[in-house]
Chains A and B, each alone.
Chain A
């Protein structure tokens, strides 16, 4: 079984500031981890994924995340926030590859202040 905890349901940052969205996971097997972004009334778009290769994963729109096994974390970062980054972000975990079910966190709503 696996689970995801996203710390902070709402995060506000100023435009140009560092974005840090926290995600901790629990998995009984080596996990695959994902970050998705959701804009209002839309589906989810994959930002990046960790699938047991490099621990620092770079994604689209300047986002990256680092897999830290010792901390069971997969935090999402971006050096400089843009207004267009305002959205809901979901961390997700699956217990390995194949066609496993994905467990989502509750989501973090990112607000970017001009």
Chain B
């Protein structure tokens, strides 16, 4: 149980393109999802907390107009990297919480490469 699916697993695109990443909870409903960014050989850095039906809460230093988050349903949150540039290349990982006092369950991540 508690499976989180993330799609796509890998994206390669040109600079200036907008890229959408989907995070789905397959067998549970998630009112809260999290989006992380992981640089090579580093830990996960929380970008934002996504709440179903309301605006996402962004961490300090994360551009909300650059990284658009939509949590339209209890099983889907999307992260859109707008007008992506090479410095946005990274590994993006989402997680979802299946219930109160439960640990986060992670998707398999999306490797984004901007040329």
Interfacial residues, chain A to chain B (CB-CB below 8 A): 32, 34, 36, 41-46, 49, 51, 90, 97-99, 101-102, 104-107
- Among B31, B97, B111, chain A packs the most CB atoms within 10 A around the CB of B97
A-B contact pairs, 14 of them (CB 8 A): A34-B103, A41-B91, A41-B109, A43-B95, A43-B106, A44-B44, A44-B93, A44-B95, A46-B105, A98-B100, A99-B32, A101-B34, A104-B44, A106-B43
Known: A90-B44, A106-B42. A43 touches B101 (CB 8 A): no
A36 CA / B93 CA spacing, docked (Å)? 14
Main secondary structure of the interface of B (DSSP, over half): strand
Is A46's CB under 8 angstroms from B49's CB? no
Is A43's CB under 8 angstroms from B100's CB? no
Contact of B43 among A51, A101, A104 (CB under 8 A): A104
How many positions in chain B have a CB within 8 Å of any CB in the partner chain? 24
A46 contacts which chain B residues (CB < 8 A)?
A: 103-105
Is A51's CB under 8 angstroms from B93's CB? no
B108 at the interface (CB under 8 A from A): yes
Distance from B98 Cβ to chain A, minimum over Cβ atoms (Å): 11
0/1 string, B64-93, CB within 8 A of A gives 1 = 000000000000000000000000000101
Q: Would you list which residues of chain B between 4 and 61 have a CB under 8 Å from chain A?
A: 4, 6, 31-32, 34, 42-44, 46, 49
Interfacial residues, chain B to chain A (CB-CB below 8 A): 4, 6, 31-32, 34, 42-44, 46, 49, 91, 93, 95, 97, 100-101, 103-109, 111
Distance from B3 Cβ to chain A, minimum over Cβ atoms (Å): 11
Contact of B100 among A41, A99, A102 (CB under 8 A): A99
A97 contacts which chain B residues (CB < 8 A)?
A: 100-101
B95 contacts which chain A residues (CB < 8 A)?
A: 43-44
A99 CA / B95 CA spacing, docked (Å)? 12
